[in-house]
Amino acid sequence: VQLQASGGGLVQAGGSLRLSCAASGSIFSINFMGWYRQAPGKQRELVARIFDGGRTNYPDSVKGRFTISRDDSKNTVYLQMNSLKPDDTAVYYCNADIRVVAGSLNRYWGQGTLVTVSS
């Protein structure tokens, strides 16, 4: 199983970006998909998470600005980021708890995509 993230880039403060992360491989089911970020010198933190069935959660720092969604037909999760701030600058990683065809449930991480917000 692999997670492939895309969509990062450079944007001015107040702008928007949309990240995508597609899971591929011998997937039986996906429990949840989410996004984390890590800024230089800081710990990795949760940005958004969406569970099977559509329940979502966000930290206060992004609530109302970021929206996570998933397309189960494509095994893909999206992160729409609006009203971006310089503090949102970080490498964004997607992750997912995936049950493979063979039966085991594992957590997978994508390779990270850089988001830079200029002031």
pLDDT value at residue 102: 81
Q: What percent of the chain has pLDDT over 70?
A: 100
Q: Could you report the per-residue pLDDT of 21-33, keeping only the tens digit for each?
A: 999 999 999 999 9
> H helices then E strands: how many in the chain?
0, 11
Looking at beta carbons, which pairs linking 52-56 to residues 24 or more positions away fall under 8 Å? none
Q: Could you report the per-residue pLDDT of 3-15, keeping only the tens digit for each?
A: 999 999 999 999 9
pLDDT score of 106 more than 90: yes
Residue 84 pLDDT class (50, 70, 90 cuts): very high
Which parts of 29-81 fold into alpha helices (H)? none
